[in-house]
Structure 1
Amino acid sequence: MFVKIIASIGPASSAPETVERMARAGANAFRLNFAHGNPEQWKQFVEAVREAEKKVGKPIALIGDLRGPSVRLGTLENPVEAKKGEIIVMKLANEAKGGDEKVVPVPVPHFFEVVDVGDLIVMDDGRVRLRVVDKPSPDEIEVVAVTDARITSRKAVVIRGKDYELPAISDYDLKCIEFAIENDFDYISLSYVRRAEDLEILKSILHKKGRPDIGVIAKIETRSAVENLDSIMDVADVVMVARGDLGMIFSLEDIHYYQTLIVSKCISRGKPVIVATQLLESMIENPVPTRAEVVDISTAVEQGVDALMLTGETSIGKHPVEAVTWLKKVIDHTEARMGDKLEAIARAARCRHFDLGYRFVRGVIELAEDLEAKFITFSMKGNTPRMMASIRPKMKLFVASNNWKALRKISILWGVHPFYVEAQSYDEGLAKAFSEAKRLGYVNIGDIAVLTYGLREEKQYVEILKVAEA
């Protein structure tokens, strides 16, 4: 499998046995959304993932998702339900009774500074659409329901065509970052990124706290992020096409265009890319996907993404394990029939300028492809496999390391199959990687194997072997 699976963890999937089943079904990483829950619950989620990692025997990445500069509703005692054409009041408050009162709290003053009469407000991945019809006071607006609407607590509030000028990292986000550091998360994703400076702030915080090894994921879900994509890619370790809010900022009919644009730019720049949201939305309720969802997944796979991420399907859905199972099944079947599309992805990934290190990586990858060989490498930091995955090799990359952090981080990359070996040097690591690859069945008698180790200041090392014994 080239394309990896990220599953969001939540109330529906937090039981340790469910996490383990999702990992066995194909999940390579788990995402924890810091917008929901509390540290006590998060700690249980983390423990469940790390326990599953031990039982399943493969590195699993942990991703913490920050709220970022977003506006969310306050707490509603009861959901607010409105028919199309009904008026709802949105006011500056932390909480409201909701229900028949038709009053919705927004605890962020900046929201009322930005919103104007005529604006379209979108919530809940586009299910709720409200048009602003009056602004009777600086901290209150009246909206009309464009469609039937059911509004619940703490939903993100998007104003179509506008971005909020809020701090990139809130005080709440800082607490979440501390939690991620204390619990050894592998990546932190920042929501509502607008410009490269937003990511630089997060990276600076991690560096000052002594954790520059935690990767930073830029969620592309604002108009500004799309406009500033090139500079954002310069700073981000990974880019995510966050289709939920992207589909509220832009018209739905434009989402395929923007997904294709972002993915193709990432591949041409060698930047890992994830596609997320509504891949299997119907499986929140149903045990099987729709035909359209299967086609959507196949399209993303054929575009050459590194990973696909399930959100509500696994965090709140009724069938979290089945969702992972179906996603893997569709990925596998699509990859088996890619043919010329795989060639096209590889060409797109290899047409950029390469420095000396990338030239070595490209050369050894193409050598293995020409020989139809199995590829085995040993890396201490994960830099070499990241470069290798970025040029979209046409065979699996069996990557060994003595560094669990590196293994977890590369587990979400295209074609990488990571495993642990105990080693004190590159030569020892590569020898043990070959032995372990044989033991795990990655290489068999008669296979040709190309072996190399991580890039260093010294001469590069490549060995070609024909496996004579298992």
Structure 2
Amino acid sequence: MNFKIFATIKDFSIARELLNAGVTAFRVNSSHMEIGELIEFLEEYQFHFYNIPLYIDLKGSKKRLRKDQRTVELIPGEKIVFATSESPEIKTLLVEPAVLKLLSPNLNVSLNDGKIKLKILDNDGNRAYAIVLKAGRVHGAKGINFEFLSDKNFRSFSLTEKDVEIISKTRDYPFVRYALSFVSSPEQIKNLRAISRRYVAAKIENYLDLDKLKEISSETDEMWFCRGDLGAHLGMRGLAKFYGEFVKSMRDFTCPVFMAGEVMEHMVDNPRPTRSEICHLYDLIEHGFSGIVLSNETVSGNFPIEVVKVVREVISGD
């Protein structure tokens, strides 16, 4: 069975073992690297894995905490602020000015694919005050999601300056492919392909109607259904409903489709998957998905090789 397994990595410590276990391509998240670090990474990758595709995640319109955000532990019921500079008297989450403008009162905000949740109480233009609904530890460069945000400016397409620089400095590596975050129109794919001249994967991370998905499928080389950001935006019920609609329409898509977003999340901390994960994996095969994209399972999980072996075992039928 030609069911593919993509694994996210941040270095090469286990890359060869992942390939031996059954990985067919790698992914690296450029949001967690400076451009110089990324180029060094590609130079070493070229020496060892030049014939294996490498997807570089591009931020696109995705919003994130700043990379210089210090690690903080958030407590339920605690009041914190989003700001562009550190506040000495209160825990601060650092964001860019464009993100700060989006934080209006009563907006629900989540971090780290919905694992941390906050509610915006007020925004005076310099700070957005929030209360912690669901606690956890916050790190720099983590993605920010806005539940049910309808602001068209948020969903509009724009490659960041860093994205453009990444493309200009990496597009000549023959193994490089791009995975664009928060795709919402075929024009985004056309624009990216025009400047990159490379293979492109469209990451579906917002709710889109089925006609729009079909249009995107006709322009992109792959689509990734990204459960993490979708769940953070839509909520659990909304994610389930959209997934059902998406699967029913897959036969009309003209490109391969992959499931992304910690498909085997239990194995981040455990050596065996849950029965639900195994059943879900089998359903993905039956629905016609072309593969899965592993993220935390391989980039920071405790059992990365075991994850790949489990997936390979299920899809092979051995």
Normalised by the size of structure 1, how large is the TM-score? Answer: 0.62
1:307 aligns with 2:291: yes
In the comparison of the two structures, how many residue pairs are matched?
A: 315
Which of 135, 147, 155 pairs up with 2:134? 147
Q: Which residue of 1 aligns with 2:16?
A: 20
Distance between the aligned counterparts of 2:209 and 2:40, measured in 1? 33
Corresponding residue to 2:92 among 77, 100, 103: 103
Shift of 1:202: 0.6
Select the residue among 309, 319, 324 that pairs with 2:303: 319
Q: CA offset at residue 219 of structure 1? A: 0.6
Matches within 5 A, 1:427-442: none
Q: Secondary structure at the match of 2:32?
A: coil
* Deviation at residue 9 of structure 1 after TM alignment: 1.2
Aligned partners of 2:214 and 2:253 also within 8 Å = no
Say if 1:224 and 1:263 are closer, same or farther in 2 by CA, change over 3 A: closer
Letter of the 1:127 counterpart: K
User: What SS does the corresponding residue of 1:22 show, helix, strand or coil?
Assistant: helix
Q: Is the counterpart of residue 35 in structure 1 residue 31 in structure 2? A: yes
CA distance in 2 between counterparts of 1:262 and 1:149 reads 31
- Report the counterpart of residue 64 of structure 1 in structure 2: 56
Question: Which of 188, 207, 229 is 2:178 aligned to?
Answer: 188
Aligned to 2:9: 9
Q: Which moved more, 1:235-244 or 1:256-265?
A: 256-265
In structure 1, distance between residues paired with 2:49 and 2:102? 45
Deviation at 1:72? 1.0
SS of structure 2 residue aligned to 1:288: coil
Q: Could you tell me how far 1:225 is from its partner in structure 2? A: 7.1
Residue by residue over 1:306-355, the C-alpha shift from the partner in whole angstroms, topping out at 9 and shown as x without a partner, is 1111011111222222221111112223xx7xxxxxxxxxxxxxxxxxxx
Q: CA RMSD in A?
A: 2.4
1:223, CA displacement in angstroms?
A: 2.7
Q: Aligned partner of 2:107: which letter? A: D
Question: Aligned with 1:194: secondary structure?
Answer: coil
Q: Which residue of the partner structure matches residue 189 of structure 2?
A: 199
Partner Cα separation in structure 2 for residue 262 and residue 247 of structure 1:
14
How far apart, in 2, do the equivalents of 1:154 and 1:77 lie? 7
Q: Which one has the largest radius of gyration?
A: 1
Task: Return the offset for 1:51.
Answer: 5.3
Which residue of structure 2 aligns with residue 244 of structure 1? 228
Cα contact 1:263–1:303 (8 A) shared by 2: yes
- Given the two structures, how large is their TM-score scaled by the length of structure 2? 0.90
Q: Distance in 1 between matches of 2:76 and 2:116?
A: 10
What is the deviation of 1:77? 5.7
Partner of 2:202: 218
What does 1:61-210 align with in structure 2 at a 5 Å threshold? 61-75=53-67, 78-93=70-85, 96=86, 101-107=90-96, 109-135=97-123, 137-162=124-149, 164-165=154-155, 167-206=157-196
**1:181-229: CA deviation from partner (whole Å, max 9, x where unpaired):** 13223421110112222222112212xxxx3xx2111110013576721
Instruction: Show structure 1 runs of 5+ residues with no match.
Output: 337-470
Amino acid paired to 1:19 = A
After TM superposition, give the deviation of residue 21 of structure 1 in Å: 1.3
Q: Secondary structure at the match of 2:62?
A: coil
Letter in 1 for 2:8: S
AA at the equivalent of 1:217: A
SS of corresponding position for 2:182: coil
Q: In 2, Cα distance between the equivalents of 1:227 and 1:120?
A: 28
Return 5+ residue gaps in structure 2 as ranges. none
Contact 1:74–1:105 (Cα < 8 Å) also in 2? yes
Determine the C-alpha separation between the residues in 2 that align with 1:88 and 1:227: 41
Aligned residues with identical type, % of pairs? 26
Structure 2: which amino acid aligns with 1:3? F
* Larger RCO: 1 or 2 (CA < 8 Å, sep 6+): 2
Distance 1:22 1:134 in 2: 47
Segment drifting more, 256-265 vs 304-313: 256-265
Provide the secondary structure at the position in 2 that maps to 1:158: strand
Once residues 179 and 117 of structure 2 are traced to their aligned partners in structure 1, the CA distance between those partners, rounded to angstroms, is 27
Note if 1:276 corresponds to 2:260.
Answer: yes
Contact 1:10 1:314 in 2 (8 A): no
Alignment of 1:282-297 (within 5 A): 282-297=266-281
CA–CA distance in structure 1, aligned partners of residues 300 and 294 of structure 2: 11
